[in-house]
Amino acid sequence: MATVTLLLSSFTPQISIPISRFLSLLSSPLRRRPRRLRPTAASSAVATSSKPPMAARLKQALSQRINPPGIASFADVVANEPSLALPHLSVPDIRSVDWARLERLGFCGVVFDKDNTLTAPYSLALWPDLADSFRLCRAAFPDRIAVFSNSAGLKQYDPDGAEAKALEEAIGGIHVVRHGKD
């Protein structure tokens, strides 16, 4: 059986199965304009009371907007496998995905982007509106979900993994991928 991974990002969700097959998975029309989620008091919780120095906060804020390694990786994909660089499907958010059906079709797991997909930027709390869909995803893919973020788990900004660990606890034990150069 072929392994297929669905990567949901706030920018370019990508899949590698035929679009006609995947369209039947959606529970809402594609032409609907995405509704921007707004942070709530709960989703704006801060992990710790101590704040990093201003220069570190500025560098981290810019990393949310400019990602040179990501740009280089994208350029490599465009040069070598351009079909992978095109979004095959865009959904407003994870509430539009039928997780049980994805599992039945052979998807083996799910990797989520953190900021603007599951949480507000720099927040550890799951968007409240997404809780039901996230629960359904966890039921369909138990122990086969991960979060990949350019903040939590990135050694450059989270060298000891404290933010990744706090995020794992905040979202019920879902693994946060640790990555980056030492």
Q: Would you give per-residue pLDDT tens digits along the chain (182 residues)?
A: 333 344 444 444 444 444 444 444 443 333 334 445 555 554 444 444 456 677 777 766 666 567 677 778 888 888 898 887 777 667 888 999 999 998 998 889 999 988 889 998 888 899 999 999 999 999 999 999 999 888 888 888 889 999 999 999 999 999 999 988 76
> Is 49 within a domain?
no
Is residue 179 in a domain? no
Write down the H helix ranges in 46-130. Answer: 54-63, 68-80, 99-104
Query: Within a domain: residue 50?
Result: no
Residues 5, 11, 156, 170, CA torsion sign: negative
Q: Is residue 181 part of a domain?
A: no
Evaluate whether residue 80 is within a structural domain.
yes
State residue 62's pLDDT score: 64
Q: How many CB atoms lie within 10 A of CB 42?
A: 12
Give the CA diameter of the chain.
50
Q: What's residue 64's pLDDT?
A: 59
- Asked whether residue 44 is domain-assigned, the answer is no
Non-local CB neighbours of 127 within 8 Å, separated by 6+ positions: 37, 43, 93, 118, 119, 120
pLDDT for the residue numbered 170: 93
Residue type, 74: F
CA torsion 117→139→91→170, rounded to 10°?
A: -10
Domain that includes residue 103, residue range: 4-23+55-174
- The reply to whether 137 falls in a domain is yes
Structural domains of the chain, count:
1
Q: How many Å apart are CA 159 and CA 69, to the nearest integer?
A: 18
Residue 40 included in any domain: no
